[in-house]
Amino acid sequence: MPASNRPKTIGELKKSGYTPKLVREEVHHNVAELLRTGKPLLEGIIGYERTVVPELENALLAGQNIAILGERGQGKSRLIRSLTRFLDEYVPFISGTETHDEPFSPISAVGKAMVAERGDDTPVEWLHRDQRYCEKLATPDVSMADLIGDVDPIKVAEGRYLSDELTIHYGLIPRTNRGIFCVNELPDLAERIQVGLFNLMEERDAQIRGYNVRLPLDIMVVATANPEDYTNRGRIITPLKDRFGAQVRTHYPTTTQDERRIVDQESVAFKDAGVTISVPDFMAEIVAELSHQARRSGEINQRSGVSVRLSISNFETLKSAALKRALTLREDHASPRITDLPALASSMRGKIELETFEEGREDRVIEELTRRSVAEVFGRLFPRNGLNGVVSQFESGATADTSARRSSADYRQRLESVPALAPAVEKLGCAGSDAETASAIEFILEGLHLTRQLNRDVIEGGFRYLKEPLPPEPPISAAFGEGMDDESRADLRRRLQQRRRQNRPDRPDR
């Protein structure tokens, strides 16, 4: 309904046929309508379609207060802020009331006085659904005055008596009447505040400075918490847990595809640098795989979690490293490379917590996780021995140098000296621009190194990939080979060669 056509008084509201609904009734009706029409319940929430969303649907249809439990970076805040879409777009309230009193049943002294005095001429305003949501971060210093209210000394100074309800300045919860109130990190609330909260949730009864103010508030309460804190006895009182009708558990993305979709949705992109940045699929996959490797690592404290923000920050940092190179080399196209991965250390250090502290160990763990991620993605794209043609050319004496400061055009020339690289680059879909070609070549060479098919030497500013010949075989002693036929002797030789490869000092650690 256009703003100009909305009723402006209680009398007009009655004539319009308006029927008031409780918040829970609004949510129930709107969720049911979305389910009936087949529209998505939550927009921008990725990876929860078969896990979190079904539980949330049940809780919303039942009109329950909800506790959402999950580690950091699992989208809890985004989830609760999206609940406002289940409220009606606009609802009327008595003009001038702090508690947004329902016109037909006011709860505050101000609202009741206005209706008693003016009747159907009482002015009405309209409240948008986005204004019906309030969020409070729980900290130990949160007071009852913050949540419920307190006596306002200025109103007392104006001549009102302390016994007058009009001297009260309402807190956040009464001001969210007819809306959704959320408490982030609920276990951090002091016990006495938790008592006041569950009393308000159940009995709708609030006491302010000794006044027994009966406020039949119409509120849906949603809380978030870390599962370990929420289930830890002593951090949250049992009666408060009992007031939440549903407990919903969130989780990290279960696949790298979901991780990448979240990164694409949340990462910041700038378009004013004059450089086109394209991120090949395999580099985006490495960023997502890196977070998944961190969540499985025994060296990282999994109780603190590995936030999805790690993937977002890493993706933005990787693009920035590529952009910086392009600006320095005066190139108009940039693509992240393997030699840009060391830049991720700065965006990872503050987002992972090691099980034990040791000077310099954090960077070593990050480097090892990065190597595992590259090897994992390479293994998914190229089967073992699938690049024998490339390896053969290196066995014939070819070498390749890589560097984060090397121009993209130099990598195009590398295809001419190692032509077997061209089909692999095309398979990755990077045969178009020089920047993407450079990224693909570095990925292939590093993958061959990590799968022990190529050697790698560290040179100034980068790496040199080569295939060193195996040392000559030591002669098999007559006693050791005595009595063996030619087939057994050849098998023994193969096993010795394999052992020498495994014991090479320059082989990468897995």
CATH number at residue 80: 3.40.50.300
Is residue 334 located within the same domain as residue 447? yes
Residues 490 and 355 in one domain: no
The pLDDT value recorded for residue 331 is 92
Domain ends where: 249, 278, 296?
249
Contact call for residues 428 and 335 (beta carbons, < 8 A)? no
Pair of tokens at residue 473: 């075989």
The reply to whether 367 falls in a domain is yes
Domain assignment of residue 338, yes or no: yes
**Angle at CA 55, nearest 5°, toward 53 and 57?**
65
| 15 & 111 share domain | yes
d(CA 418, CA 429): 18
Do 123 and 205 belong to one domain? Answer: yes
Q: What pLDDT was estimated at residue 378?
A: 96
Taking Cα atoms as reference points, which of 274, 268, 280, 198 lies closest to residue 240?
A: 198
Task: Evaluate whether residue 255 is within a structural domain.
Answer: no
Nearest to 135 by CA among 99, 83, 187, 86: 83
- Say yes or no: 493 and 361 in one domain: no
Rounded Cα gap, residues 317 and 324, in angstroms:
10
Helix ranges, 104-211 (H): 109-118, 144-147, 153-157, 172-175, 191-203
What share of residues in the chain are helix, strand, coil (percent, to 5)? 50, 15, 35
* 227 lies in the same domain as 294: no
Measured from the Cβ of residue 44, the count of other Cβ atoms closer than 10 Å reads 12
Say whether pTM exceeds 0.85.
Answer: no
Domain co-membership, 460 together with 364: yes
* Local structure of 376: helix, strand or coil: helix
CB atoms within 10 A of CB 29: 13
Task: Provide the terminal-to-terminal Cα distance of the chain, rounded to the nearest Å.
Answer: 64
What's the structural domain count of the chain? 3
For 450, phi and psi rounded to 5 degrees? -70, -25
| Residue 347 counted as domain residue | yes
Q: Which domain does 505 fall in, by range?
A: 470-510
Whether 258 is in a domain gets the answer no
Among 271, 268, 308, CA closest to 292: 308
How high is the pLDDT of residue 492?
67
Please report whether residue 259 resides in a domain.
no
Give domain status of residue 464, yes or no.
yes
Q: Are residues 387 and 429 in the same domain?
A: yes
The verdict on 19 and 46 lying in the same domain is yes
**Same domain? 405 vs 504:** no
Count, residues in the chain? 510
Q: Which residues contact 460 (CB under 8 A, 6 or more apart)?
A: none
Residues whose CB is less than 8 angstroms from the CB of residue 491 and which lie 6 or more positions away in sequence, other chains included: none
The reply to whether 226 and 362 lie within a common domain is no
Burial (CB count within 10 angstroms: exposed 0-12, middle 13-18, buried 19+), residue 223: buried
Which of 148, 139, 134 is CA-nearest to residue 199?
A: 148
**Strand pairing report for 179-184 and 219-225:** parallel
Residue 463 to residues 57, 89, 391, 400: CA-CA distances in angstroms?
53, 59, 17, 8
pLDDT in tens, the chain (510 residues): 556 688 999 999 999 999 999 999 999 999 999 999 998 888 888 999 999 999 999 999 999 999 999 998 899 999 999 999 999 999 999 999 989 999 999 988 889 999 999 999 999 999 999 999 999 998 888 888 888 877 777 776 676 665 666 777 788 988 999 999 999 999 888 888 888 787 777 766 666 666 666 778 899 999 999 888 887 766 888 888 888 999 999 999 999 999 999 999 999 888 767 899 999 999 999 999 999 999 999 999 888 889 999 999 999 999 999 999 999 999 999 999 999 999 999 999 888 888 877 777 888 999 999 999 999 999 999 988 889 999 999 998 888 999 999 999 898 887 888 888 999 999 999 877 899 999 999 999 999 999 999 999 988 878 999 987 645 555 544 444 555 566 666 666 666 666 555 555 444 443
Residues 465 and 475 in one domain: no
Would you say residue 254 lies in a domain?
A: no
